[in-house]
Chains A and B, each alone.
Chain A
Amino acid sequence: MMRQRLMVPALLGVLLLAACGGGQQEPETPTPTGETPPPRPGTPAAAAEAERQRVEAEARAREEQRRRAEAETRQRAEAEQRTRAAAAAEEAARAREIIAEVVLFDFDKFNIRADQQPALQRKVGVLRANTNVRLRIEGHADERGSIEYNLALGMRRANSAREYLVGFGLEPVRFETVSFGEERPVCMEKNEDCWQRNRRNEFIIISGEVGRTSP
C-alpha cells in the first residue's frame, strides 16, 4: 500500500518531463483535469494502474449488482403494492356495487321478496366491514299507482329494507329513509318489465368510505 502511494508523484514527474522535453509540441488537446494520461504498457506503473482499474471495476460491478438487487426488490414491492391496491380498489368497487344494488318490489307491495333478500344480505356484509358507512334508502314506485299514495308506498318500501338490515344487528342510525313515489323513474316505457324496474329501493352512501366487502 505504502509503495503504491509513493509511486504516484514519481510517475507524475516522469510524465511531466516527457511532455516538456519532447522535440515537438504535442497538439493541444484539452485534457480533462485530474485525469492522467495512460501509462506506457509494460511498465510497473501500468501494472499498478491495471490493478487499480480492476479493483475499481470490481467495486463498480458490486455496486451495480447491489443497485440492481435493490431496484428489483423495490419493483417487486411496488408491483405487490400495485396488485394489492388494485385488489383493494376492486374490492371497494365491488363493495360499492353491492351497496348500490337495487331491491325490487311487487305492485302495491312493500315486503322484501325472497329473490331480493340475497341483495340485502350482501349489503349486510359490506356494512359490517365498513362501520362508518351511512346509507340513504330511497323508496320508489311505478306510475300505475296514485301519485300521492305512491309516496306512502315508497316510504314503506324504504322502511322495509331498513328493518331488514337492522334485523341483522346493524344500527338503525346508519340508515336514513326517503320516498320519491313515482316521480323518479329509471324507465319510461309502459310495460311490466319497465314498471318492475321502477318499483325499487335505491341505496346511496351519505357518509363514510366503503372499502372491504366483508369484515
Chain B
Amino acid sequence: MLLLLVPAPLTAQEDTLRIPTGVRLGLVYRPVYQPKVAVRPFSGPGELAEVATAILRRDLEYSDRFELAEAPERLARGPVDYKPWNALGVVYLVTGGLEPTGDRTQLRITLHDVVYGTIKQSQSFTLPPLDAADFRMALHAAADEVVRWLTGQPGMAASRVAFIRRRGDGGYEVMVVDSDGEGAQVVHSSANILLSPAWSPDGRRLAYALAHASGWSIQERDLESGQVQLVSGRPGLNTTPSYAPDGRRLAFALSSGSGTEIYDYDVAQRCCLRRLTNGPRDDLSPSFSPDGKQLAFNSNRLGQPHIYLMPAEGGEPTLLSPFVYGEPGYYTSPDWAPEGTLIAFHGRSRGEFQLMVADAANAGGTVQQLTQEGASEDPSWAPDGRHVVFSGVRAGGSGLYVMDAVSGRTRPLVLGGRYLVPDWSPTLLRASALAVRGP
C-alpha cells in the first residue's frame, strides 16, 4: 500500500538513468578522412594581411573538414616550393595576396594541391576596407568558397546566429553573432520577454516573439533599416515563428480556446491567416522542410511532447520521435536541416536534455543522440547542413555551442551569459558578390 502511494519518484528516477527506448548514442554520419591543410600568411600590408589570414584560417578550422597544419616561419614567404610542404604531410596549401586599390582591397587566393604539385584554384575577391562593418563577412564568404573548392560542398562561415539573451535585470535582448563568435550585436533590447528569433530565407529579416503584460506578439524586423512590423498580436500566445523557404509565408503558434495551434500567414501580402493543426492539445514550434512541402512540429497530443511531421498545408500528422507506451518521453524544438530529411531536436535522456536527430524519410526509425555531456537544447542547423548551434551547459560554462554532427567536435560560440533559442541564418554573403568587376 505504501509503495502504491509513491510511484512518482520511482518513475522520475528511472527517467534519469536511462537513455530512452528508440534512441541510440552516436553521430549522424560516418567520420571521414580529413586532409591536412595549411594556410600560408597572406602577403600585403601588415595588419590587413594578418587579420585576413587569421579569419580565413579559423574559418577553415571551424568548417571541421580539414586538419589545419601550422605554417612554419621558414616557408612563410617567397615562391611556393611544394617539397617542404609535402614533407610536412600537407595535402592542400592556401596562399593569398592583398593589394589595396583605392578604398577597396583585392585578395587573390590560390589553392595548391601539394601532392600533385599543381594549382587547383585561384581567384580574386574584392574586400571592403579593414574597418568596414562587412569586412569580416567578405572574408567569411571567401573562406566558404575555398571550402567549396576543396569539398564541393557549402560552408557556413558567411552566416550569423540570432539568439536571445536573458539579462541579469530581467530584461531580454535579441542578438546576432557571426559564425565564428565575433561581431556580436544587439538587435532589440527590452524589459519584456523576447523569444524565438527566426531568420528569413534572404537573411534580411528576423521574426521573433515579444511579450507584454497581457499577451504576446510576433514582430518582423528589417535588419538593414531597423523597421519593425507587427505580424500577429492576437489575444494569448503568438509565438515560435518560422519562415517557409520561399520567404513569403510565416508559420507560428497561436493560442485558441484552451490550447495552442499552428497557423500560417502570408507575410509578403500581410494577409490570409490559415490554421494548420487541429490537435486536441498543443501544437507549436513549426519548422519547414527545404522544399516547403512539409512541417516538423511539436505536439503533446499523446500527453507528452513529441516531434511530428505533417503536410505544410495541414493534414494527418506522423510521429517522428520515439514513443513507447508507459515510458516517459519528452521531445521538443524541432529544426529541419537546410537540405535533406534530417530533423534535429532535443529530448530528455538520463534526466537532461540532449540533442537528437531523426530522419523524416524514416519516421519510426532509430533516433541518434548527438550529445551526452552536460545539457543541450534548442538546436538549429547551419547552412552547411552539418553543424548545429545549441544552448548548452558544459564544463566550460553555459552559453551557445556549435557542434559538427559529423566529427562530434564542439566549440563554444558565445559563453558567459544566459543565451537561448539560437537560430542559424542562411548564407548571408556569397563569393559571387565579391567578384572582381572589369578587366
Contacts and interface: CB of A to CB of B under 8 A. Distances in A.
Interface of A: 108, 136, 145-149, 151-153, 155-156, 159-160, 163, 176-181, 183-184, 206
Interface string B254-271: 010111100000000000
A148 B332 contact: yes
B77 to A, nearest CB: 52
Interface string B401-415: 000000000000000
A156 B258 contact: yes
A153 B298 CA distance: 12
Given A148-B332, A149-B285, A149-B298, A155 B255 contact: yes
A147 B258 contact: no
A163 B214 CA distance: 18
Contact of B214 (A136, A152, A155): A136
Interface of B: 166, 193, 195-196, 211, 213-216, 235-237, 239-240, 253, 255, 257-260, 282, 284-285, 298, 300, 304-305, 330, 332-333, 346, 353, 377-378, 420-421
Please provide the 10 A-B residue pairs with the shortest distance between their CB atoms, ordered closest to farther.
Answer: A146-B332, A152-B282, A152-B260, A159-B258, A149-B332, A183-B193, A155-B255, A148-B285, A149-B305, A152-B284
Contacts of A155: 236-237, 255, 259-260, 282
Main secondary structure of the interface of A (DSSP, over half): mixed
Nearest to B283: A152
A146 B260 contact: no
A149 B348 CA distance: 13
A148 B196 contact: yes
Given A152-B260, A155-B237, A176-B214, A147 B255 contact: no
Contact of A149 (B235, B257, B284): B284
B7 to A, nearest CB: 13
B214 A108 contact: no
Contacts of B253: 152
Given A152-B253, A155-B255, A177-B236, A146 B305 contact: yes
Q: Is the interface of B mostly helix, strand, loop or mixed?
A: strand
Contacts of B304: 108
A159 B253 CA distance: 16
Given A148-B239, A155-B236, A179-B237, A108 B330 contact: yes
B421 A178 contact: no
Given A151-B284, A152-B300, 17 more contacts: A108-B305, A108-B330, A136-B214, A146-B353, A148-B298, A148-B333, A149-B332, A151-B237, A152-B255, A152-B260, A155-B260, A155-B282, A160-B258, A176-B235, A178-B214, A178-B236, A179-B236
B377 A151 contact: no
Nearest to A109: B303
B211 A180 contact: yes
Q: Which of A145, A149, A176 has the most B CB atoms < 10 Å from its CB? A: A149
A180 B240 CA distance: 14
Contacts of B421: 147-148
A114 to B, nearest CB: 14
A108 to B, nearest CB: 7
Nearest to B348: A144
Contacts of A163: 258
A180 B172 CA distance: 13
Contacts of A206: 214
A118 to B, nearest CB: 22
B247 to A, nearest CB: 22
Nearest to A154: B237
A148 B284 contact: yes
Nearest to B346: A146
Contacts of B237: 151-152, 155, 179
12 contacts: A147-B420, A148-B284, A148-B378, A148-B421, A149-B305, A151-B239, A152-B300, A178-B214, A178-B236, A179-B237, A184-B193, A206-B214
